[in-house]
Amino acid sequence: MKMKKKIEKIINKETILYIFFGVWTTIVNFGSFVIFEKFFGSEYYLIANVGSFICATLFAFITNKYFVFESHSWKIKVWVKELISFVMSRIVTFLIIEEFGLFFLVSICRMGNLKFGMIDGKLAAKVILAFAAVLANYILGKFLVFKNDKK
């Protein structure tokens, strides 16, 4: 019985919605990364990563605010505070996990030279790093950004 309560505490409407919209945010991130990399050129993969980060962050803010953490306030002060907190927390995880991590895996570990079926090494590196970023972003969103504005 104790284990069931722990599982119910972890797997609830909020975490299910976070995972659902997280998958869509990842699709926005990866899709825009591929588009930006084609547009700028493969050698500018870090610039493509910044563009995909901006697209994914805007999408994630809206879905996290209204659907996941249910912060429905339209007060400009609350909205701006949440947006700034959200963007700043995402910038931190982006720079530390995604940008530095991508540079490390592609340039230092040479993952960029690998192919995994139809997926190149850069995209595979982004997949690996996405797991760490998702966990960090959930914790920051829940306990830092939207903590006081639930329902």
pLDDT tens-digit map of 37-82: 999 998 898 899 899 999 999 999 999 999 999 988 889 999 999 9
* Per-residue pLDDT, 6: 73
pTM here?
0.74
Q: Which of 96, 76, 91 is nearest to 144 (CA)?
A: 91
In this prediction, residues 87-109 reach a mean pLDDT of 93
Look at residue 148 and tell me whether its pLDDT is greater than 70: no
Burial 55-72 (b: 16+ CB within 10 A, else e): bbbbbbbebbbeebbebe
* Per-residue pLDDT, 147: 79
Which range, of 88-92, 120-124, 135-139, 144-148, averages the lowest pLDDT? 144-148
Q: What is the 8-class DSSP label of residue 119?
A: E
SS3 116: strand
Residue 150 — φ and ψ, nearest 5°?
-75, 135
* Per-residue pLDDT, 31: 96
pLDDT tens-digit map of 2-22: 877 777 777 889 999 999 999
Look at residue 1 and tell me whether its pLDDT is greater than 70: no
Tokens describing residue 53: 């980060």
**Between these two residues, 57 and 150, which has the higher pLDDT value?**
57
Look at residue 23 and tell me whether its pLDDT is greater than 80: yes
Cα separation of 90 and 141, whole Å?
Answer: 9
Cα separation of 98 and 8, whole Å?
Answer: 31
Q: To the nearest whole percent, how much of the chain has pLDDT over 70?
A: 97
Q: Map out the domains of the chain as residue ranges.
A: 2-144
Question: Which position has the token pair 């605010």?
Answer: 65
